[in-house]
Structure 1
Amino acid sequence: MRTARLRNVRPVLWAGWAALATGAVLCVLGWYGISGERYAERQLPYLASCTVPGAALIIAAAVLLTHGRNALAATRVEELYGLLVAAGPEDAASADGPAAAPVAVSGDLLMVPGGTLWHRADCPLVAGKPEALPVDSRVLAGGDLAPCPICEPTASDDPADESPGASPDVSPGASSDGPSSGAATG
């Protein structure tokens, strides 16, 4: 498929370069002829026979070269799309298994100060971040944070709901050296 399209593109590019060269030569000849004449009525034939057609050929060359390069780029995009489509069904069968389950399964819920999402502790977006804080149930109830679309946490995952003093009230500027910070790194 690519070779058929390229057979149509290459002549357009060559025609564009040929028109550009011919137009440049005609413009130079017209300029040379005009520069040797003192009176305008003697310059007019050079202008009509060389310079105007040369300028028209340069404009045509610009159009042909632009069209040829766009067609060449479209051919490459179609080839890449064909490669992606051909590789899709084989890879999709192996990717469906892990994609169906959530990425993280931990029950501890964390948030990053200044963030807009709450995550499970083993979510790749917060795993290993020392600034991650445990989520307070009041923050969840207030609706200030949204659940992470990657790890898909639920409010019932929070162990702080089960035992009322398990998660101390921590402000965003406070240190995260407490016992719950180990969940974010491990």
Structure 2
Amino acid sequence: MRAARTDQTASAARSARLRGVRPELWAAFAALAAGAVLCVIGWYGISGERFAERQLPYLASCTVPGAALIIAGTMLLTHGRSTLAAARVEELYGLLVAAEPSTPLAHRPPPATATSDDLLMVPGGTLWHRADCPLVADKPEAVPADATILARGDLGPCPICEPPADAAPER
């Protein structure tokens, strides 16, 4: 019961964080738009004036603040997107961590080790295996190991089932 409540609280906090990023993104877009409008107004005012002393008011009142708003909007947009990405990564990490294994590690049976004395090989393969090796178990293409191939040394022992070196049949 408590775990379910904790999961709901964590989910609500994540969605609140994602919603909290939206105003920052809207502010970024508003600053970009306002900066672009001010730059256009400044350009239009400067283009209509012939003398530099009459262009300076447009430059000071429109173009410079417009450029500053564009820079601020770009920084807000970058920060908002990185915050959104970080929130999504955190949410994915929470989903990965929340997934519990079906069987606790202490209660899992140890991996089966191969102990059979029958040797198998796969045609075209490079290893020879015990018959109960997980690499060849239930494989129809596995055939009994050929003594001549094993004697020539064309096949090596499997590192998983580790058949003993003296188990290789002699000629």
Please classify the TM superposition score into its range, dividing by the shorter chain length.
0.5 to 0.7
- 2:34, 2:66 within 8 Å by CA — same for their partners in 1? yes
Q: Distance in 1 between matches of 2:141 and 2:42?
A: 72
Instruction: Kindly report which structure 2 residues correspond to 1:88-127, keeping only aligned pairs within 5 A, or say none.
Output: 88-89=100-101, 91-93=102-104, 97=108, 100-101=110-111, 107-108=119-120, 118=127, 120=129, 123=135
TM-score, normalised with respect to structure 2: 0.65
Aligned 8 A contact 1:118 1:153 in 2: no
- Displacement of 1:20: 0.6
Structure 2: give runs of 5+ residues left out of the alignment.
Answer: 1-12
Matching residue within 45, 52, 56 for 2:57:
45
Whether the 8 Å contact between 1:108 and 1:157 is mirrored in structure 2 is no
- For the residue of structure 2 that corresponds to 1:123, the secondary structure is coil
Alignment RMSD:
3.7
Residues 88 and 44 from structure 1, CA distance in 2 versus in 1: closer, same or farther, beyond 3 angstroms? same
Partner of residue 81, structure 1: 93
- Counterpart contact for 1:108–1:158, Cα < 8 Å: no
Detail structure 1 runs of 4+ shifted over 6 Å in the superposition. Answer: 103-106
Counterpart among 23, 27, 30 of residue 15 in structure 1: 27
Residue 104 of structure 1 deviates from its aligned partner by: 7.6
Deviation at 1:37, TM superposition (A): 0.9
Structure 2 equivalent of residue 180 of structure 1: none
| Structure 1 residue runs without a partner (length 5+) | 166-186
Query: Deviation of residue 32 (structure 1)?
Result: 0.5
Give the counterpart letter for 2:21 in structure 1.
V
Q: Who is 2:5 aligned against?
A: none
User: When the two structures are superposed, what TM-score results if normalisation uses the length of structure 1?
Assistant: 0.61
- Partner-residue secondary structure (3-state), 1:16: helix
Aligned 8 A contact 1:104 1:123 in 2: no
Q: For the Cα contact (< 8 Å) 2:46–2:59, is it kept in 1? A: yes
Deviations 1:5-47 (Å, cap 9, x if unpaired)? Answer: 1243122111101101110110110110011011222111111
Q: Distance in 2 between matches of 1:129 and 1:62?
A: 62
Shift of 1:82: 1.4
Paired residue secondary structure (1:88)? coil
Deviation, 1:129, is 7.8
